[in-house]
Amino acid sequence: MSKFRKLSDSMFASPQIGLDDVDRARSEGVTLIVNNRPDGEAPEEPQGAEIESAAKAAGIDYLAIPVTHAGFSLDQVERMNEAISQADGNVLAYCRSGTRSTLLWAMAQAKLGMDPDTIAAAAAGAGYDISPVRPTVDMLASQSRG
The sheet with strand 30-35 has its strands ordered as 5-8, 11-14, 90-94, 30-35, 61-64
Determine the pLDDT at residue 146: 73
Q: Which domain holds residue 83?
A: 5-140
Look at residue 72 and tell me if it is in a domain.
yes
Say if 125 falls within a structural domain. yes
- Whether residue 25 lies inside any domain: the answer is yes
Can you tell me the distance from the alpha carbon of 15 to that of 4, in angstroms, rounded to the nearest whole number? 8
Q: How many domains does the chain have?
A: 1
3-state secondary structure of 102: helix
Do the domain assignments include residue 146? no
Please answer whether residues 138 and 118 qualify as being in contact, where contact means their C-beta atoms are separated by less than 8 angstroms. Answer: no
What is the per-residue pLDDT for 2? 83
**In this predicted structure, what is the pLDDT of residue 1?**
73
Q: Is residue 47 part of a domain?
A: yes
User: What is the value of pTM for the model shown?
Assistant: 0.96
**CATH assignment of the domain containing 81:** 3.90.190.10
Residue 80 falls within a domain, yes or no?
yes
Torsion (CA) 70, 75, 80, 85 in degrees, nearest 10: 170
Q: Which ranges in the chain belong to alpha helices (H)?
A: 19-27, 48-57, 74-86, 99-111, 116-125, 134-144
* pLDDT tens sequence for the chain (146 residues): 789 999 999 999 999 999 999 999 999 999 999 999 999 999 999 999 999 999 999 999 999 999 998 999 999 999 999 999 999 999 999 999 999 999 999 999 999 999 999 999 999 999 999 999 999 999 999 999 87
- Residue 85 falls inside a structural domain: yes
